[in-house]
Amino acid sequence: MSDQNNIIEAKVRDTKKKSELNKLRSDGFVPGILYGDIEKNISLSIKKTTLDHFLKTTNFKSKVVKITVEGKEFEVLPRDVEFDNLSNQPIHVDFQKLSANTKVIVWIPVKFLNEETCPGLKMGGVLNIVRRKIELDCPADKIPSELVVDLAEKEIGETIRISAIKLPEGVVPTIKDRDFTIATVAAPTVVKEPEPTAETEAASTTEGGDEAKTDDTKTDGTDKASNDKEKKESADKK
């Protein structure tokens, strides 16, 4: 937490009216609020460039950061960011102050390792990802940055469930009534036809030639029978 890149500098604001908040935003700041384990909620203003930097980081709303307000430092968790419908720019942000006993609900991304060496995938199987993020109930000081699934020994037909992931002590999924699926290594749904070889191409050409020859023979025979019939009719008239 001592990393300077993990600290957000904020100022206390007394702006409340819509016109005042719009002026604050036009000056390059984003209004926010700090709530949680404090005596009174604190209204904040944060430089938009600073907030933009944090928004670009992975999993912003499940990463504990520090925020400084007029010399005081708080350990917080970003809880919500409101964006403008047209510009898609941040217009408000909420932070929750944490304490040693704070428990939070967060969404944590799932990371899959060793896809290139997975036996099932090398055999043509497909990684069917059911859940890319898992909702967890965590102590504030034990929030994992990611949940790791190792595919190194997974075969076609195997199912990866939440029970296969080792979670930090005190961290549990919010879904508690079943061992839910995260991903499967499924069999391929499309069977590739074998590519033609020189022998199969030659055989195909020969068959095509024979069919053409047979058709020609049939045509010649039909024409001959027609000519014979015409000659017979002519002789009868005479």
Q: Can you give the pLDDT at residue 212?
A: 45
Is the pLDDT at 86 greater than 50? The verdict is: yes
Which band of pLDDT confidence, cut at 50, 70 and 90, is reported for residue 193?
A: low
The number of C-alpha atoms within 13 Å of 71 and in the hemisphere containing its C-beta is: 0
CATH code of residue 28: 2.40.240.10
Q: Can you give the pLDDT at residue 218?
A: 46
Q: What is the pLDDT of residues 108-129, one digit of tens each?
A: 999 999 999 999 999 999 999 9
Is the pLDDT at 205 greater than 60? The verdict is: no
Closest CA relative to residue 127, chosen from 190, 187, 192? 187
Residue where a domain terminates, one of 161, 186, 211: 186
Residue span of the structural domain in which 180 resides? 104-186
Mean pLDDT of 227-232: 53
Closest CA relative to residue 78, chosen from 19, 30, 110? 30
Which band of pLDDT confidence, cut at 50, 70 and 90, is reported for residue 81?
A: very high
CATH code of residue 175: 2.170.120.20
Phi-psi region of 145 (alpha: psi -120 to 50; beta: other; left: phi over 0): alpha
The answer to whether residues 14 and 90 belong to one domain is yes
Does some domain include residue 230? Answer: no
Q: Can you give the pLDDT at residue 46?
A: 95
The answer to whether residues 8 and 88 belong to one domain is yes
Does some domain include residue 205? Answer: no
